[in-house]
Amino acid sequence: MDPFILVAVVAIVAGAAAARWYRHRARRAEAEAVTLRRKVLAEQRAARQDTLTGLFNRRAFYEFGELLLSDVARRPLVAIMVDLDEFRKINDTLGHVIADEVLVVLGRRFADYTTGHLAARLGADEFVALVPGSTAADGTPYPDARELTKILSAPIWASGHWVRISASVGVAAADGTADLGKILRRADAVMRRAKILQRRAQRAHPTAPTAELGGPAAHEQHASSAHRGTLPVYCRTRAVARRRRRA
């Protein structure tokens, strides 16, 4: 065989092998880059998310809240502050597992009520949201502190126990200000006044302890009433959200 032809064949084979090797390395590098991007995104999401309820955490709320307030087109915005009354009693009487289940349900109800807007869990028993204010055709404002209080205070079935916990809610409009801290302080002041009024009402009309309402028998009774036409609380919150979007 002609040596020149042999050299050419060897060069072609070597070039094809090198090209195949480089393509393999490129695909491998691309796969590693995709994995790294997913890992970074997952870490960023975890850094902004409350691991128990799935809502945003304090850091993410302040980060995104300031961005929302800086956008004039998104106003008027309204802040919602929620504080669970005597939540520590559930931890002390029923344990942390049931307390965590209660928080998960309350976080889901709160997310339903805020209908996809900025909502977060600030601390162990505090929730906060920043939503656009509106008024329905029948004159009902959104957000409505009384409506949200009723939704959050409905009984919760958790690990064989009916649990009822009251919530104090404060609502404050941004009123043109872009200072998130100032808006939250106003909402917090309204929430604390609501908590004081609620405590006065409880002292005037004492009721049974709210930590536990009953066991399986109470659950069966509640379930039978639901079959008679009363929607579960979680479904009612979704229905409220749908009516509000249509309004």
Task: Give the pLDDT confidence of 39-88 residue by residue, as tens digits.
Answer: 655 555 667 899 999 999 999 999 999 999 888 676 689 999 999 998 98
Predicted pLDDT at 143: 94
Work out how many domains the chain is built from and give that number: 2
User: How much is the pLDDT for 99?
Assistant: 93
Give 218's pLDDT tier (boundaries 50, 70, 90): very low
Q: Are residues 173 and 201 in the same domain?
A: yes
One domain for residues 120 and 224: yes
Tell me, what amino acid is at 224? S
Strand-pair partners of 157: 162
Assigned domain for 53 exists: no
CA–CA dist 19, 14 (Å, integer): 9
Query: Domain check: are 103 and 205 in the same one?
Result: yes
224/185 same-domain check: yes
Q: What is the mean pLDDT of residues 29-46?
A: 64
- Run of H or E residues at 79: strand 77-84
Asked whether residue 171 falls in the same domain as residue 109, the answer is yes
Q: Look at residue 41 and tell me if it is in a domain.
A: yes
User: Above 70 in pLDDT, residue 25?
Assistant: yes
Q: What does the pLDDT read at residue 73?
A: 72
Whole-number Cα distances in Å, 81 to 72, 189, 222: 22, 9, 30
The answer, yes or no, to whether residue 127 has pLDDT greater than 70, is yes
139 shares a domain with 177: yes
Helix (H), strand (E) counts: the chain: 8, 8
- Predicted local distance difference test score (pLDDT) of residue 226: 36
Task: Enumerate the active-site residues.
Answer: 125
Instruction: Give yes or no for a contact between 120 and 50, defined as CB atoms under 8 angstroms apart.
Output: yes
> How much is the CA Rg of the chain, to the nearest whole Å?
28
Name the 3-class secondary structure at 103.
helix
Q: Same domain for 2 and 25?
A: yes
Task: Name the pTM for this structure.
Answer: 0.69
pLDDT digits (tens, 9 = 90+) for 84-124: 998 988 988 999 999 999 999 999 999 999 988 999 999 88
Query: What is the separation of C-alpha 113 from the centre of its chain, rounded to a whole number of angstroms?
Result: 10
* Claim to verify: residue 206 and residue 238 sit in the same structural domain: yes
Alpha-carbon distance values, 39 to 28, 33, 63, 247 (Å)? 16, 10, 21, 41
pLDDT tier, 16 (very low <50, low <70, confident <90, very high otherwise)? confident
Residues 154 and 221 in one domain: yes
Q: CA-to-CA distance for 189 and 171, rounded, in angstroms?
A: 9
Stronger pLDDT, 40 or 126, i.e. the higher one: 126
205-213 long-range CB contacts below 8 Å, 24 or more apart?
209/89, 210/86, 210/89, 210/163, 210/164, 210/165, 210/166, 211/89, 211/90, 211/93, 211/94, 211/163, 211/165, 212/93, 212/94, 212/161, 212/162, 212/163, 213/155, 213/161, 213/162, 213/163, 213/164
* Residues 13 and 78 occupy one common structural domain: no
* pLDDT for res 231: 42
**pLDDT for position 76:** 86
End-to-end CA, the chain:
87
Peptide bond into 143 cis (omega under 30): yes
Model confidence band, residue 35 (pLDDT cutoffs 50, 70, 90):
low
Are residue 236 and residue 195 in the same domain, yes or no? Answer: yes
Domain that holds residue 11: 1-48
Confidence of residue 175 (pLDDT cuts 50, 70, 90): confident
Residues 166, 228: one domain? yes
